[in-house]
Amino acid sequence: MYRGPLQMWARCVATASAVLLWTVLGCNTAPEVIAPPTTPPTVDREFDQGSRIEPRELTPTQVANLALLARVWGVAKYHHPSITAGGRNWDYALFRVMPSVLSAPDRSTAATAIVTWLDALGTVPACRSCATPATGAQLAAEIHTIDGRPVAALVDSLRPDYPASNEPTRLRDMARNLTRGAGPVVLAGVGAMGAVNTSVSRQPTGTLDRSQTFVRDLPGPTFRMLTDSVAYLKLSSVVAANTASYIEQAQRARVLVIDIRNYPSEFVVFALGGHLVSGASPFARFTVGDPSNPGAFRWGPTVFHTPRTPRFGGTVVILLDETWQSQAEYTAMAFQVAPGAIVVGSTTAGADGNVSRIPLPGNVEGMISGIGVFYPDGRPTQRIGIVPDLVVRPTVAGIRAGRDEVLEAGVSRALGRAFRLP
């Protein structure tokens, strides 16, 4: 893990409260940075004559809430893409939210004001080609109400509490907690045989085995031949030392399915990726923070694959969805450079890179990636995700029939004909 960003965070966090004070007094505290462009002063002139905020004697609650705001504001100033892209005067944006934070009677109210403020920055829009599933089928909620509340209304009410890079990831996180609460939960909807209305006992989260909620690959062995022309490899149980063996067994196949609807059990970016290319193949590039100049980021070297033998010469189909992030996303990037590779499924979380922790008042911490992860041509992946070439989502009918529609659609595209799992 690169240590520079963590040192930089320590410096930024330590000075955040002082930066906030100087900003309120009308001083320009923004350092001369390399990466973020300078915000044009003509964009926002509302507070040119001062903040118009005159704090008197502050209560302990106000001090704590301002400290929370200061740290969040300082982190966002140098790392939120909507701010570093220019066009916003982030110092003046601070003045607009400070009255709400100062008047907040408690920490929870202040936190809500800050989250609402940050939400106004918006999210990265989905690509136009990803708006509609390729199958033409929409996944409808099988459970329509939870404790008498429509699922759609429940999702809308929870939206401010679930920040995410994109909508699939927000819904992923919500789905894991929709039925949490006290006492039995009443579920109503439509099942295979008609209307359903049932009461289910809730269980303490710590007693549940939720591991399978994060894995959507096929049960069974790590590698197998689905047919004579289709090989399948899932990364949830992959062994890096066996990558050459997997590829050797797949030599006669036309299609190799690499299933990353999971989190890789071992790091196989290079061990497997080298078997998918015939020459040196760049697949990623990073930016790293300059700890001597907070806010400045510098390009690191481009990351390449070195060819390995044996090589798989057929079509690689990569399966992914919003279930996983981080190393799983980086792994998908590494395999996308295989000639003719097809990425199938739904957009990933857009949260790859390292983890930089942000300590906040009240024994709370936030986390962001302290490095930038890009394709070699400079296209970003963070806050966007790995975008599929073919968008396919499971349907209720497919789930009931025991089908893997994502896998079948990907192999069908690669073979140029309809494919069904045997």
Average pLDDT, the chain: 79
Which of the pair, 196 or 298, is modelled with greater confidence?
A: 298
Report the C-alpha gap between 321 and 169 in whole angstroms: 9
Task: Return the amino acid letter for 257.
Answer: V
- Start-to-end Cα distance in the chain: 43
The pLDDT value given to residue 123 = 59
Q: Is 351 exposed, middle or buried (0-12, 13-18, 19+ CB in 10 A)?
A: buried
Residues 6+ apart with CB under 8 A from 209: none
Report the C-alpha gap between 96 and 356 in whole angstroms: 28
On the question of pLDDT at 37 being above 80, the answer is no
Cα of 421 vs its chain's centroid, Å: 30
How many residues does this entry show for the chain?
422
- Classify domain 140-211 at the CATH class level: mainly beta
Report the C-alpha gap between 420 and 411 in whole angstroms: 9
At 52-107, the pLDDT tens digits run 887 778 898 988 888 889 888 888 887 777 777 666 788 888 888 889 889 899 98
CATH of domain 212-415: 3.90.226.10
Residue 300: CB atoms within 10 Å? 15
At 331-380, the pLDDT tens digits run 998 999 999 999 999 888 778 788 888 888 888 888 888 888 899 998 98
At 376-404, the pLDDT tens digits run 998 988 888 888 999 998 888 888 788 89
The pLDDT value given to residue 411 = 96
Task: Return the amino acid letter for 355.
Answer: V
What 3-state DSSP class applies to 132?
coil
Going through 154-249 in order, the beta strands assigned E by DSSP cover 185-191, 194-200, 223-227, 230-234
Of 119, 219, 102, give the one whose Cα is nearest residue 161. 119
Side-by-side strand order, sheet with 194-200:
149-150, 143-146, 185-191, 194-200
On the question of pLDDT at 31 being above 60, the answer is no
Q: 111-118 long-range CB contacts below 8 Å, 24 or more apart?
A: 111/68, 112/160, 114/68, 114/69, 114/72, 115/160, 115/161, 115/163, 116/160, 117/93, 118/72, 118/76, 118/80, 118/163
Of 297, 360, 355, 368, give the one whose Cα is nearest residue 16. 360
CA 204, 208, 213, 215 dihedral sign is: positive
Q: Show me where the domains of the chain are located.
A: 4-119, 140-211, 212-415
